Amino acid sequence: MNILDVMNDQEAFAPWFEGPSWDSWRVILRAAYALPMSPQELEVFAELAGGRAPPRRRVRQLFVVGGRRAGKDSIASLLAVYASTLEEGHRGRLRPGEKALVQLLACDREQSKIVLGYIRAFFEAIPDLGAMIVRETRNGFDLNNDVSISITTNNFRQVRGQTILLSIFDEVAYWKSEHTVKPDYETYRAVLPGLMTIPDAMLIAISSPYRKAGLLHEKWKAFYGKDSDDVLVIQASSAQPNPTIDPALVERELEDDPQAARSEYLGLWRDDLASFIDIEMIESCTDLGVTVRPPRSGVYYVAFADAASGTGQDSFAVGIAHKDRDELVLDLLSEHRPPFSPSAAIADVCGLLRSYNVVSVVGDKYAPGFVAEGFKGHGVSYAYSERDRSQIYVECLPLLTSRRARLIDNKRMAVQFAGLERRTSPGGRDRVDHGGVNGHDDLCNCAAGALVQAASRPGVMRISDEIMEWARRPGPTTIAYGGGHGGAPRFGRTSRLGAVDLEARPRAGPA
C-alpha cells in the first residue's frame, strides 16, 4: 500500500483524514512519494511548490513551510506510522540487535510530545498497529519489526550514530540552543549520515516560517520553485491545506499584528526581523582561552547586573569591565542559573564586586526595592540603568564592529549575542531583544551593559609627571588617589625610591 492508499483506508486512517479539506495534503504526499497526479492535482501542486515540476522519484527530504493549524503535525504523525509499520526498507540492513529509528525532534521534548500523542492515538485505535508494540516508554515505543518510534533530544551530539528510517524536524524555524548558535544546521548535519543506509529513509521538516535565517529558510531559498528529485519544498498558508479555518479570524489577526500574522497564518517570512550580530563578529572580539581576567590594582572597574527570581528560566548574572585606553575590556561574567536563592546570589555577586573594588553596580529595574536593598545590605549601591536593554545593545554594536571591545571566552554569552534579533516597528524604530520562545540574553545583556558603561568612563589614568617627580624623592612616599565612582574608598600606596609599580596605573576619579 502506498501512502495515499493508507491515508484513504476506511478501516484504518480514513476517519482522521476525511473530506476535501485534506486534498492539498494528498497532493503534497503524491509529489513527495512520486505518485501519479491528475491535471487538477498538478495545478494545486504548482501553486504550493512555486511552479516547479513534480519530483520523478520519491524525495529524500521534504520541507513544508506552512501557516499555523494547517495540519502539519497530523500529516507528520501519519508518515511516522507509515514508515514504521508498512515500509520494509530497513529489512536486511540492520545488524543483530540494531533498530531503525523514527525520530521526533522539536524545539524541546514537550513540543515533540504533540506528534507522539497523535502517533500513539493511531496505535491505540487500530488493533493491528497496537499488536506491533512490544515495549512502550514515556518517549515512544518499540515495535516487533525492529523499528523504534521515539522522541530524541534535540542535540547534535546525541543524534549521532543512529540508523534512521524517518526524521521529523518539528517547528524547525524556532529551534534554539544554549550550546550552539545554529542548532538546526548542527542537528541536520548530524542526522544525514543516519539516513544514508536505508534506501527509503526520509527527513521531513515542518514549521511555520519565522525570520529569514536558518536551515528552513536556506532550503526554501535553494529549492522552492526549483526542480529537484531529492528535495521538495512546499509553502502554504494555513487556509490552503486547511480551508476550514475562518478567514475572518485570520483577517482580525492581520489587523492586530500584520507581520506576525503574515508568518503565522499566511506562511510568509517575516520582513521585520533580522539577526542583530553574527557569531563571527563575536568571535573576532574574543580573547580565546581567557575565561576571566583577575582584578588589577590601579584599574577602574564598572559592573552591570541582570537580576532574576531564581524560580523561572532566567539567570542572575553580572558583568565587570574596564576601559584601557581606547579599548573596552570585559573582565568577568558570573551567572547563577535557576533554581537559586536571590539573597544568596546577591551575596555571591557582591563578593565578586568587592574583589574588583566595585562598590556601585548598574542594573535593570527587576523587583525594584528588593534587589537594591539586597545589594545595599552588602555595602554595594544599586542604580537603575537609564538605558533599556535594546538601547544597550544598539550602543554596544559599534564597540563590537569596530573591534574596540575585547570579550572573554564564554560560549553561552556568544550564543546569546548571536541569537539577538533586530525588530523594526511600523513606525520605523528598531528594537533589539532575544529571539523566539524561551530565548535568553542574561549574559550578553550584562556583557553589553558593562562595556557600554566602561565606554562612558575615563578609565585608567596615567601617573602625571609631577607625581612621578615627587615619587622619586628619597624617603618613604605615600600617594593617595581619589575616591572614584559611587563613593569608592580612597586608597594609597607607600613606596621607597624606585619601588613605584609603573604598570599598575591608578584608577580614574577626582583627585
pLDDT tens, position by position, 93-124:
777 878 889 999 987 777 788 899 999 999 99
| Nearest residue to 413 via CA among 309, 302, 277, 312 | 277
Instruction: Give the span between the Cα atoms of 318 and 301, in whole angstroms.
Output: 13
Pairing of strands 202-207, 61-66: parallel
Residue 269 vs residues 45, 188, 211, 422: alpha-carbon distances, Å: 20, 21, 6, 15
Grid cell at residue 123: 496505535
- Residue pLDDT, tens place only, 330-344: 999 999 999 999 999
Phi, psi of 426 (to 5 degrees): -55, -25
Contact yes or no for 129/138 (Cβ under 8 A): no
Contact yes or no for 163/98 (Cβ under 8 A): yes
Cβ neighbors of 278 (< 8 A, separation 6 or more) are 418
Instruction: Give the span between the Cα atoms of 470 and 462, in whole angstroms.
Output: 15
- Is the CA virtual torsion 56, 61, 67, 71 positive or negative? positive
Give the N- to C-terminal CA distance of the chain in Å, as an integer.
88
3-state class percentages of the chain: helix first, strand second, coil last, to nearest 5 = 35, 20, 45
Range name among 225-239, 336-350, 480-494 with the lowest pLDDT average: 480-494
Contact yes or no for 149/141 (Cβ under 8 A): yes
- Residue pLDDT, tens place only, 288-323: 999 999 999 889 999 999 999 988 888 999 999 999
Amino acid sitting at position 460: V
With cell 517570512, the residue in question is: 269
Burial of 258 per CB tally in 10 Å (0-12, 13-18, 19+): middle
Amino acid sitting at position 70: A
Q: Is residue 373 predicted with pLDDT exceeding 90?
A: yes
- Residue pLDDT, tens place only, 468-477: 555 555 555 5
Residue 437 vs residues 179, 210, 214: alpha-carbon distances, Å: 16, 12, 16
Pairing of strands 147-151, 100-105: parallel
Percent of the chain with pLDDT over 90: 56
Half-sphere exposure of 492 (CA within 13 A, CB side): 8
**More confident position, 472 or 499:** 472
pLDDT of the residue at 145: 92
Pick from 118-127, 421-430, 432-441 the range whose average pLDDT is largest. 118-127
Contact yes or no for 482/462 (Cβ under 8 A): no
Grid cell at residue 23: 486534498
R_g (Cα) of the chain, nearest Å? 29
Grid cell at residue 121: 492515538
Instruction: Give the span between the Cα atoms of 375 and 357, in whole angstroms.
Output: 15
Amino acid sitting at position 228: S
| Nearest residue to 263 via CA among 306, 209, 222 | 209
| Nearest residue to 153 via CA among 186, 193, 106, 118 | 106
| Nearest residue to 6 via CA among 55, 79, 63, 62 | 79
pLDDT of the residue at 86: 84
Instruction: Give the span between the Cα atoms of 258 and 263, in whole angstroms.
Output: 9
- DSSP-derived secondary structure letter, 129: H
pLDDT of the residue at 254: 85
Per-residue H/E/C for 183-218: HHHHHHHHHHHHHCCCCCCEEEEEECCCCCCCHHHH
pLDDT of the residue at 486: 40
Q: Could you tell me which residues are beta bridge partners of residue 207?
A: 65
- DSSP-derived secondary structure letter, 337: P
Contact yes or no for 239/65 (Cβ under 8 A): no
Grid cell at residue 486: 559611587
3-state secondary structure of 313: coil
pLDDT of the residue at 93: 77
Instruction: Give the span between the Cα atoms of 354 and 152, in whole angstroms.
Output: 45
Q: Could you tell me which residues are beta bridge partners of residue 507?
A: 460
All domains of the chain in start order, with CATH: 56-268 (3.40.50.300), 279-455 (3.30.420.240), 462-511 (no CATH)
Range name among 202-216, 254-268, 314-328 with the lowest pLDDT average: 254-268
Q: Is residue 462 predicted with pLDDT exceeding 50?
A: no
- Angle between helices 23-32 and 72-85 in degrees, nearest 10: 40
Cβ neighbors of 205 (< 8 A, separation 6 or more) are 61, 62, 63, 64, 168, 169, 172, 215, 216, 219
pLDDT of the residue at 439: 65
Q: Is residue 504 predicted with pLDDT exceeding 90?
A: no
Amino acid sitting at position 489: P
Residue 433 vs residues 15, 286, 410: alpha-carbon distances, Å: 45, 22, 19
